Structure 1
Amino acid sequence: MGKVTHDHSKYANIRFDTQDESAIMVDILETIPYEYPGKDTEVVIPTSEFTSVCPWSGLPDFAELTITFIPDRLLVEMKSLKYYLTSYRNVGIYQEHATNRILEDLVNLIQPKYMKVEAVWNPRGGLGTRVVAEYTKEGYVRK
């Protein structure tokens, strides 16, 4: 069997095009009224289809994303959430920043009593990342 050689220098300057955070479609998000504001109902939205790209290389980052919240008066409309999350597809953003950005955008949209966004990122370079960002409305005590 012949010797396998690799010329890693040919990869050194390769970068894929990325979009900046202005490509994130926050305006696509819609709400619907929550008809049980007195009840602390936990809503859990998991997806294994979340993707963004590394801002340095442009290589894809994949995550299992779970959004958990206790609504106050509004819910996020699911189709709009799907389009919003898909808009990250070519955005160059660090994993920790993407997770926090999703939390901030959704909290601003629906003003929940509580919200947690957890992203379990596929390993890159042998290292996996789990990012958890949380929000609790002032004065709210989770039961």
Structure 2
Amino acid sequence: MTDKYKERRFDIYGYEKIDKEVLESIEYEYPEKNTIVEYITDEFSSVCPWTGLPDNAKLTIRYIPHKKLVELKSLKYYLTSYRNVGILQEHAINRILDDLVEFLQPKFMEIIGEFQERGGIATRIIARYEKEEY
């Protein structure tokens, strides 16, 4: 009996499809405060780099802004650019953290990815950044 799924693959794109250039910011008027901003979406998806099967997650982006806030429509487009990118779950969460920290330069940021179960195992990834002088 042959494995009919052995050669089955879906289109998988590389990291170059992650569009951080789409991100836009809004000036934050209270840089002296330590206000926590939190965005939550259950629509994040990327794909397994080996099979092309979808990895869906609830994503929480929590940060203390310094001088900029991320504009939400641009954040949605940025996150959607991961849709067909072949990337490990752990790498996706760290890449999002790196891109947003570089773009916003917050005092603190935490990205939490809660991925749907695969084989009965759920994955929760937490990546953090804290500005040294914060």
Q: Measure, in 2, the Cα distance between the counterparts of 1:19 and 1:73.
A: 33
Residue number among 96, 101, 111 corresponding to 1:102 in the alignment:
96
Which consecutive segments of 4 or more residues in structure 1 shift more than 2 A? none
Find the residue that maps to 2:111 and give its secondary structure: strand
Cα RMSD for the two superposed structures: 0.9
Aligned to 1:49: 43
Aligned to 2:9: 15
Return the offset for 1:8: 6.8
Q: Measure, in 2, the Cα distance between the counterparts of 1:121 and 1:139.
A: 33
Stretch moving more, 87-96 or 122-131 = 122-131
Aligned to 1:119: 113
Structure index of larger Rg: 1
Return the offset for 1:72: 0.5
Q: Measure, in 2, the Cα distance between the counterparts of 1:108 and 1:125.
A: 35
Q: Measure, in 1, the Cα distance between the counterparts of 2:69 and 2:124.
A: 25
Q: TM-score, normalised by structure 2?
A: 0.97
Return the offset for 1:14: 1.0
Residue number among 26, 45, 53 corresponding to 1:59 in the alignment:
53
Q: Measure, in 2, the Cα distance between the counterparts of 1:8 and 1:130.
A: 35
Find the residue that maps to 2:4 and give its secondary structure: helix
Structure 1: state its 5+ residue gaps.
Answer: 1-6
Aligned residue pairs: how many?
134
Query: Residues 18 and 41 from structure 1, CA distance in 2 versus in 1: closer, same or farther, beyond 3 angstroms?
Result: same
Q: TM-score, normalised by structure 1?
A: 0.91
Find the residue that maps to 2:115 and give its secondary structure: strand
Percent identity of paired positions between Structure 1 and Structure 2: 57
Q: Measure, in 2, the Cα distance between the counterparts of 1:115 and 1:35.
A: 18
